[in-house]
Amino acid sequence: MIQLHFEPLHLKTAHPFGISYGTSTDTHNVLVRLRFEDFEGLGEAAPAEYHGENAASVSSALKTWADEAILGDDPFAIADLVKRLDKSLAGNFSAKAAVEMALHDLSGKITGEPTLKMLGLSGLAAPMTDFTIGIDSLEIVEKKAREAVDAGYKMLKVKQGTAYDKSIIQLVRKVAPDLPLRVDANGAWTPKQAIAMSHFLAEHKVQFIEQPLPKHAHVDDWRLVRSAAAIPIFADESVCRATDVARLAGAIDGVVVKLAKTGGISEALKVIHTARAHSMQVMFGCMIESSLGVTAAAQLAGLCDYLDLDGALLLAADPYAGAEYHDGYLRLPSRAGLGVVRR
């Protein structure tokens, strides 16, 4: 039998991390360990309150699955396990993502092959990843932007959703006049504001806007914004699973995929392929998570146009070593499974 164990994974960011929903320094994720014979597969759940999950709900779902011995005894029956989990899911997507990534890690370790290879995704060139500057006072935003440039980050993402959004952009552009830049409003704008901001952002060479409208905004509002916007419009919080992509088809230019939202790698692939079927662009993102969760996400990087896999770069101390940042790009480890090891 595959044994499921879990424990809290408490992370701290190097700076307080602000987005339109709030600011925090502490992140409470959950570590999943799957044991089978002499092998151990690792996974990380990165729940977000704004998606209806937290560490307690993740732990409760994992306990139920452990008690029910839902994992069975075949570490390669991943698609079947996903089906079984879906039957008792009740919104626990980040918990499911952690179990599925641990199963990929476990099956890779058993065969001695990296997960990337097991997924048939070797050899794809992945895009550069960005580094996010959260919401803060203008003084701190300027300081963070300078730090990011000095640290050699090649591409920035800036959080929006304040009364001084334009000043934030002007300031970041002053510090980093030429770096590729995208913004994320985390649902803070009305359609009218989003359209007006898109023209301002276009003048400041911003590539696209992520989630300008609230999570539950009507598809007609998305369509309106897209038709009048000066730059492409991506949906993040509004697109969790593949059915959401289909719902917003024609109303947005791109989607942001995250394992914590899709419930793991299988559904993330479905989201990517559904987006492609609707000629949409794809960005892969993450929550605040350690290199364990980021490395699992990075397996699919080669299928995407843009990457926002900086969750581990924002941490004060990363408990895991896995995908490593080099000159803008994430380099995957060559070890078996996810190839992630405790630092």
The region, left, alpha or beta by phi > 0 then psi within -120 to 50, assigned to residue 161 is left
The residues in 121-150 that bind Mg ion, with binding defined as CB under 5 A, are none
Whole-angstrom distance, CA of residue 52 vs CA of residue 48: 7
Of 54-62, 148-156, 177-185, 264-272, the segment contacting Mg ion by CB under 5 A is 177-185
In the complex, the smallest distance separating the C-beta of residue 63 from Mg ion, rounded to whole angstroms, is 30
In the complex, the smallest distance separating the C-beta of residue 17 from Mg ion, rounded to whole angstroms, is 12
Going by C-beta distance under 8 Å and a sequence separation of 6 or more, which residues neighbour residue 291?
Answer: 312, 318, 320, 321, 322, 323, 340
- Smaller CB separation from Mg ion, 210 or 310: 210
- Smaller CB separation from Mg ion, 36 or 306: 306
Of 46-54, 87-95, 98-106, 204-212, the segment contacting Mg ion by CB under 5 A is 204-212
The residues in 225-254 that bind Mg ion, with binding defined as CB under 5 A, are 236
In the complex, the smallest distance separating the C-beta of residue 120 from Mg ion, rounded to whole angstroms, is 28
Q: Are strands 254-257 and 233-235 parallel, antiparallel or unpaired?
A: parallel
Size of the site for Mg ion (CB under 5 A): 3
Whole-angstrom distance, CA of residue 118 vs CA of residue 61: 28
Q: Cα dihedral angle (327, 329, 334, 340), rounded to 10 degrees? A: 100
Instruction: Determine, following the binding rule CB under 5 A, whether residue 184 of this chain makes contact with Mg ion.
Output: yes
Q: Are 73 and 2 in contact (CB under 8 A)?
A: yes
For residue 64, CA distances in Å to 2, 95, 342 come to 15, 11, 27
- Smaller CB separation from Mg ion, 105 or 237: 237
In the complex, the smallest distance separating the C-beta of residue 80 from Mg ion, rounded to whole angstroms, is 32
Three-class SS state of 309: coil
- Smaller CB separation from Mg ion, 48 or 145: 48
In the complex, the smallest distance separating the C-beta of residue 235 from Mg ion, rounded to whole angstroms, is 9
Q: Which of 197, 195, 241 is nearest to 222 (CA)?
A: 195
Whole-angstrom distance, CA of residue 263 vs CA of residue 88: 13
Of 78-86, 193-201, 205-213, 321-329, the segment contacting Mg ion by CB under 5 A is 205-213
- Smaller CB separation from Mg ion, 236 or 310: 236
Of 84-92, 181-189, 264-272, 309-317, the segment contacting Mg ion by CB under 5 A is 181-189
Q: Are 129 and 329 in contact (CB under 8 A)?
A: yes
Instruction: Determine, following the binding rule CB under 5 A, whether residue 44 of this chain makes contact with Mg ion.
Output: no
Residue with tokens 């990087």: 301
- Smaller CB separation from Mg ion, 115 or 211: 211
Q: Cβ-closest residue to Mg ion?
A: 236
Instruction: Determine, following the binding rule CB under 5 A, whether residue 310 of this chain makes contact with Mg ion.
Output: no
Q: What is the DSSP letter of 212?
A: -
Of 30-38, 153-161, 206-214, 319-327, the segment contacting Mg ion by CB under 5 A is 206-214
Whole-angstrom distance, CA of residue 249 vs CA of residue 222: 10
Residue with tokens 């692939």: 269
DSSP string, 49-86: GGGT--HHHHHHHHHHHHHTTTTTT-TT-HHHHHHHHH
- Smaller CB separation from Mg ion, 136 or 236: 236
- Smaller CB separation from Mg ion, 53 or 210: 210
In the complex, the smallest distance separating the C-beta of residue 236 from Mg ion, rounded to whole angstroms, is 4
Q: Are 296 and 259 in contact (CB under 8 A)?
A: yes
Three-class SS state of 157: strand
In the complex, the smallest distance separating the C-beta of residue 211 from Mg ion, rounded to whole angstroms, is 5
In the complex, the smallest distance separating the C-beta of residue 238 from Mg ion, rounded to whole angstroms, is 10
Of 2-10, 44-52, 207-215, 269-277, the segment contacting Mg ion by CB under 5 A is 207-215
- Smaller CB separation from Mg ion, 116 or 181: 181
Binding stretches for Mg ion (CB under 5 A): 184, 210, 236
